[in-house]
A and B are shown apart, each in its own frame.
Chain A
Amino acid sequence: MNISLNITETIQEWLMSMMPEGVASIAAMVTVALIYLIIFAVAGLYLVLLERRVAAWFQLRIGPNRVGPLGLLQTMADALKLVSKELTGTIKADKFLYNLAPYFVIVSSLMALAVFPFTKEFQAFDINIGIFFLIAISSIGVIGILLGGWSSNNKFALIGAMRSGVQTISYELSVGLSLLTMIVITGSLQLSEIVEVQKQGWLILQGHVPAIIAFMVYMIAGTAETNRAPFDMVEAESELGAGFHTEYSGMKFAYFFLAEFINMFIIAAIATTVFFGAWLSPFGITESLPWLGVFWFLGKTLILVFLMMWFRWTFPRLRVDQLLTLEWKYLLPINLINILIMAIIVWLNLTIKF
């Protein structure tokens, strides 16, 4: 098979053969953006369906199984319904910010999606500060939430947005530090190089004890950063209605909703890339078939997504003070000590390499 896996280059070369260079590069960018937008929409919709089925199974129910075979078209139908609904708003809302907020959320998660190495060279944007870029981009989403809560002119929305701000800013530290712990091993922030290092064993094996601690901290902080249960005080139904998106309806609500699920996918995908070897197959069993990397990447990511759904349907919601205690008194000190241990292990060459 001679198909190049580097989609940006493949598309660009194909377009170059038809039109002048400047037009071709712009057309290539637009095409790649469209491809990622479609991946974004489809992945978001099917993650919602997965969440509903998994939730049903945890609660001894069946879940959506009516629309289409096995209920596979259920979320498509939901999205169609949301598109056809009226976009309502409050009279005293800050119209400009109110309409801008959903795009902040959705654009930030879409940008994060661009840097993942789905398989060798199937990566839209292999930036040399990959992890740093991901951490930075994933915290921009909170601006959208804050704007949405503020401009809705609704006290519940505002309280929800403020809680989200507190939560994301606190847990951002733990996410960053636990990823830094792994950067100590790889010595590079570029995602393709992180994958290259893992050909000698996935980082969770290479780093053994501190890596496992870092992974646990990362999963807890990542769940908190996506505002999912048990950390979903942002939209605690019993207290705040729907939280920051109380005043949103129709497609604008759907943007927030989809972005939440895509953020969950992104958190799981970062964990897959950094801890579980991205598209590398276990023991290199499918090394000769590079296309199967997509399968391994998505498989590992979906297992981690399932883990987050398992958290959601098991644990009760935390109070705000408990949430901040967990972050500042437990996760952060553990993380700082962990990064020191990891540094010592790398310094003394105690990492396990195959």
Chain B
Amino acid sequence: MSYFSDIYKGIKTLLTGMSVTGKYFLTSRKGAITQQYPDNRDTLKMFERFRGEVVMPHDENNEHQCTGCQKCELACPNGSIEIIWDRGIDEATGKKKKFIDRHIYHLGLCTMCGLCIEACPTDAIVWAQNYENSTYDRTQLTKVLNRPGSKVKAGIED
């Protein structure tokens, strides 16, 4: 008699499905996930995992965490990152030490794959959540991530 139990099961599962979508229908006015973008530009905040562009955070002493190890440059599949580095004498220890002169990031080449951020051993570069990246001139897409006059935070290499 699986014929009748099939009919019963069929109707039951269809009603289960309809109750699920029905609940969504009733709650959709509150839980709509659509962002009406240009209207809510002021209040729109991107979620934490959003990949806007790569930035290098600096603290209040204008210090970043980049040691110039170049792992990000090697990890980048399409050469979006260029690091210009130099060697100098560390004042505290008197030893020779590598430091970055400029950390150049080409946003126009970047595919937002995130391999550089995964490769970074000191978490010097992170994702920013900004999303309005278009410009009228492509030279503006080449960015220097470390601020002028900044230096590496002490003790980050240990």
State the A residues within 8 Å of B (CB).
Answer: 54, 56-62, 310-311, 313-315, 330, 334
Q: Does B25 contact A (CB under 8 A)?
A: yes
Majority-rule SS of B interface residues? helix
Q: Which residue of B lies closest to A230 (CB)?
A: B14
| Count of B interface residues, CB-CB < 8 Å | 16
* Max chain A Cβ within 10 angstroms of own Cβ: one of B18, B31, B36: B18
Question: Which B residues are CB-close (under 8 A) to A56?
Answer: 28, 34
Contact B7 A314 (CB under 8 A): no
Is A62 within 8 A of B32, CB to CB? yes
Q: Across the two chains, which residue of chain A brings its CB closest to B20?
A: A314
Q: A60-B28, A330-B7 are in contact. Are A314 and B34 (CB under 8 A)?
A: no
Which one, A62, A314, A330, A334, contacts B21 given CB within 8 A?
A314
Cβ of B50 within 8 Å of any chain A Cβ, yes or no, is no
Contact A57 B29 (CB under 8 A): yes
Q: A-B contact count, CB below 8 Å?
A: 40
Residue of B nearest to A330 (CB): B7
Contacts of B25 in A (CB 8 A): 54, 57-58, 310
- Determine whether the beta carbon of B7 is less than 8 Å from that of A62: no
Cβ-defined partner of B22 (8 Å) among A59, A62, A310, A334: A310
Say whether B33 faces chain A, with CB atoms less than 8 Å apart. Answer: yes
Asked if B24 is an interface residue, CB under 8 A from chain A, the answer is: yes
B155: Cβ under 8 A from any A Cβ: no
* 8 Å CB interface, B17-76 against A: 17-18, 20-22, 24-25, 28-29, 31-34, 36
Please list the 6 inter-chain residue pairs (A to B) with the smallest Cβ-Cβ separation, ordered nearest first: A57-B28, A314-B21, A62-B34, A314-B17, A61-B34, A60-B28
**In the assembled complex, how far is the CB of residue A17 from the closest CB belonging to chain B, in whole angstroms?**
52
Contact of A315 among B14, B22, B34 (CB under 8 A): B14
Residue in A54, A59, A314 whose beta carbon sits within 8 Å of that of B18 in the complex: A314
Q: List 5 A-B contacts (CB under 8 A).
A: A58-B21, A59-B24, A60-B31, A310-B21, A314-B17
